[in-house]
Amino acid sequence: MQNFVETGLRPEILKSLENMGFETPTPIQAKTIPFILESENDLVALAQTGTGKTAAFGLPILHKIDPSRSEIQSIVLCPTRELCLQITRDIEQFSTNLSVSVVAVYGGEPINRQISAIKRSCHMVVGTPGRVNDLINRRTLNLSSIRFLVLDEADEMLKMGFKDEMDAILAETPSEKQTLLFSATMPPDIESIAGKNMRKPTKISVTSSNQTADNIEHLYMVTSPSATYQALRRFADMHPDIYSIIFCRTRQETKDIANKLIADGYNADALHGELSQGQRDQVMGRFRKKHLQILVATDVAARGLDVNDLTHVIHYHLPDETENYIHRSGRTGRAGKSGTSLAIVAPKEQNKIKMLERKIKKSFERKMVPAGIDVFQTRLTKYLETLETANQNGFPMEQYMPLVEEKLSHLSKEEIIQGILSKEFARVYNDYINAPDLNSSGERESYTNKKGRKKREKGRRFSKFSINLGRKNNMRPDLLINLINRHTPEYNIQIGKIDIQPANTIFEADRHYEKELIKAFKKARFKGNSLSVQAFKKR
C-alpha cells in the first residue's frame, strides 16, 4: 500500500488525512487497516509505541461506524489518562468531516461531566479501565451495542494491575464483536486474554521484539549513585540545546530531580501521577511548545506522550525490563531524525548494559562524564557564539551610545569584556573549575560501617529474603524487582537469584540493605493484601 487512497476509506476520512498531511501509511497501518476493513475476525497486533497504532485501528473503525445509530458502537481501553486523551484527540481529527462523537473517560476528573457527555451523544468511548469499570458499575455506561473493542497497550494495562477491571469490562461486552488487541509484547498474560476472550485471532507483527530504531544512538555514563545528579547536570550543560525526557523510577524521585533542576536554573518540570489533569495538560503544553527543555517523568506518566523532535532520552535509572528501555528510547529518533538515548549507571550495573546490547542487538558507547573545565568552556563558547550571531535590529543603539560611553569610557575593552563575563559566568566558573572527576573506575562501590570507616566490597554479597507472594499470585521476576524498586526508591538494591514458589518467593538482595528492605514492606500492599519481607536467619 503506497498511500491512504488505496485503502478504500471513506472520502470524508481521506479528506481529514489530507488536511493533516498524512500521505503514506506506517507499516502497522498498512497491514491492519485493510484487515479490519475487510474482515470481522479478531486481531492481535504487535507494534511498539510511536508506530501509528491509533490510526491503525481508529481509521477503519470510523469507516465502519454508523453515525445514524445513536448508541455506543466502539470502546478503546488504554492504560493512562495521557494516552486516553491523545487517542481521543487523534480520532476527533480523523473524524472532522464525519458526524461521529467520541468521549474520553478517565480518572482524576469529575465523573458527572463524563456521564453527561455519554448520555448526550456518543458513538465511541476511549477510557482507562478504572473509570470505565466505575461507569459500568454505576449503570451509566452500556456496552451491549458495541461492535468493536480495542485493547491498546494491553501489556501496560496488565503491568499496572488492571487485569480485574479488564476482565469485568470484557464480561459486559457482547459475544458478537470484533476485538482488536494492540501490544508491544506478548507475555503469558496477554496470551491468556487472547485465548479466553478472542476467537482464533489473526496475528500481525510489524517489528521484531527487542528492537530499536537504527537512527538512535545508545550511550551510557558510569558514575557512583551519589554523583548521578551532578553527572546529569554536566551532560545537560554540554548540550545547551537539549530537548529531553528524563525517566525516573518513582513519583518522588521525579519531583526531587525536577525541583533540583529548576533550582539550578534549568527550564524543567515534572510529570507524575499526583498531578491533576489540568496540571498535566499545562506541563505538557509548555513542553510541546518547547517552553520547557527538560521533562522529568515516570514510565507510567509518560505513557502516550506524543512529542516530536526530542534530542535525548535520559535514563536516570535503567528500567528493569528491556521492553521499557525500548519504549523510552523510542521517544527520540522519530520521523527519520536522529536521537540519543543516554543511561547513567552505577559500576555494578554495567552488566545490564551488556545484557541490553544482546537483547536489542545494538552497541552502546561509553561516554565519560564531562570534566568540570570542559563544561565551563562549552558554556562560555556557546554564550560567545550567541553574541556573535545576535540580531541587533530593533535596538536603538545610537540613542543610548552616549550614556554607554559616559559610564564606561574609563574602562578598557578588556575590562568591559571581563566585567560582562564575570557577571554571567562567576557562579558557573566557581561550580565547575575545581569540580571532581565523576567517572567511576569500574570498581565496586564502597560502603560505610557503623563506626564510619569505609570498607570495600569483595564481590557480590547477598542475603536471602522471603516475600509472601508466589505463583498463586502470578508472581514474576520482573514484578518482584518492580515492587522492590517502588518501595525502596532511595536505594539502588541489587537483586540476585529469585526462586518463585507456590505461596512465596525466595530471593537474594544486597545484604547491606537488609533493615531498609524489611522496613519498607511493613506497610506495603499489593492488590489489597499486606506484604511482608523477612530475612533468613544467618547460621
Flag the least confident range among 431-445, 463-477, 482-496.
431-445
pLDDT tens for each residue of 194-218: 888 898 899 998 865 555 667 899 9
pLDDT(267) > 80: yes
Q: Look at residue 207 in the predicted model and tell me its pLDDT.
A: 60
Identify the CATH number of the domain in which residue 451 sits.
3.30.70.330
Query: Domain for residue 101, yes or no?
Result: yes
Angle of CA points 244, 247, 253, to nearest 5°: 120
Q: Are residues 319 and 412 in the same domain?
A: no
pLDDT(424) > 90: no
Q: Are residues 334 and 413 in the same domain?
A: no
Q: How confident is the model at residue 2 (pLDDT cuts 50, 70, 90)?
A: low
Flag the least confident range among 105-109, 285-289, 369-373, 534-538.
534-538
Q: Are residues 462 and 431 in the same domain?
A: no
Report how far residue 232's alpha carbon sits from residue 369's, in angstroms, rounded to the nearest whole number.
9
Q: What is the mean pLDDT of residues 266-282?
A: 85
Q: Are residues 339 and 486 in the same domain?
A: no
Nearest to 447 by CA among 497, 508, 516, 506: 516
Q: Are residues 158 and 13 in the same domain?
A: yes
pLDDT(151) > 80: yes
Query: Domain for residue 395, yes or no?
Result: no
Q: Which of 2-6, 186-190, 289-293, 509-513 ranks highest by mean pLDDT?
A: 289-293
Q: Which of 141, 171, 205 represents a domain boundary (last residue)?
A: 205
Q: Are residues 365 and 381 in the same domain?
A: no
Query: Domain for residue 397, yes or no?
Result: no
For the chain, percent helix, then strand, then coil, each to nearest 5? 45, 20, 40
Report how far residue 485's alpha carbon sits from residue 493's, in angstroms, rounded to the nearest whole number.
8
The set of cell numbers assigned to 417 is 569584556
Average pLDDT of every residue of the chain:
85
Query: Domain for residue 402, yes or no?
Result: no
Q: How confident is the model at residue 273 (pLDDT cuts 50, 70, 90)?
A: confident
Q: Which of 205, 225, 258 represents a domain boundary (last residue)?
A: 205
Q: Are residues 158 and 23 in the same domain?
A: yes
Domain that holds residue 458: 446-535
Q: Which of 341, 370, 399 represents a domain boundary (last residue)?
A: 370
Query: Domain for residue 525, yes or no?
Result: yes
Q: Are residues 30 and 164 in the same domain?
A: yes
- Listing DSSP states for 369-404 in one string gives PPPHHHHHHHHHHHHHHHHHT---TT--HHHHHHHH
Q: How confident is the model at residue 65 (pLDDT cuts 50, 70, 90)?
A: very high
Q: What is the mean pLDDT of residues 472-497?
A: 79
Q: Look at residue 304 in the predicted model and tell me its pLDDT.
A: 60
Query: Domain for residue 133, yes or no?
Result: yes
Q: Which of 122-136, 326-340, 366-380 ranks highest by mean pLDDT?
A: 122-136
Count of domains for the chain: 4
Q: Look at residue 10 in the predicted model and tell me its pLDDT.
A: 93
**Cα 439 off chain centre by:** 27
Q: Look at residue 5 in the predicted model and tell me its pLDDT.
A: 86
Q: Look at residue 78 in the predicted model and tell me its pLDDT.
A: 94
Report how far residue 448's alpha carbon sits from residue 456's, in angstroms, rounded to the nearest whole number.
9
Q: Look at residue 335 in the predicted model and tell me its pLDDT.
A: 64
pLDDT(388) > 80: no
Q: How confident is the model at residue 160 (pLDDT cuts 50, 70, 90)?
A: confident
Q: Look at residue 50 in the predicted model and tell me its pLDDT.
A: 66
Identify the CATH number of the domain in which residue 294 sits.
3.40.50.300
Q: Are residues 34 and 106 in the same domain?
A: yes
Percent of the chain with pLDDT over 70: 91
Q: Are residues 194 and 60 in the same domain?
A: yes
Q: Are residues 36 and 152 in the same domain?
A: yes
Q: Are residues 107 and 121 in the same domain?
A: yes
Query: Domain for residue 396, yes or no?
Result: no
Query: Domain for residue 425, yes or no?
Result: yes
- Listing DSSP states for 340-361 in one string gives EEEEEE-GGGHHHHHHHHHHHT
Work out whether strand 529-530 and strand 525-526 pair parallel, antiparallel, or are unpaired: antiparallel
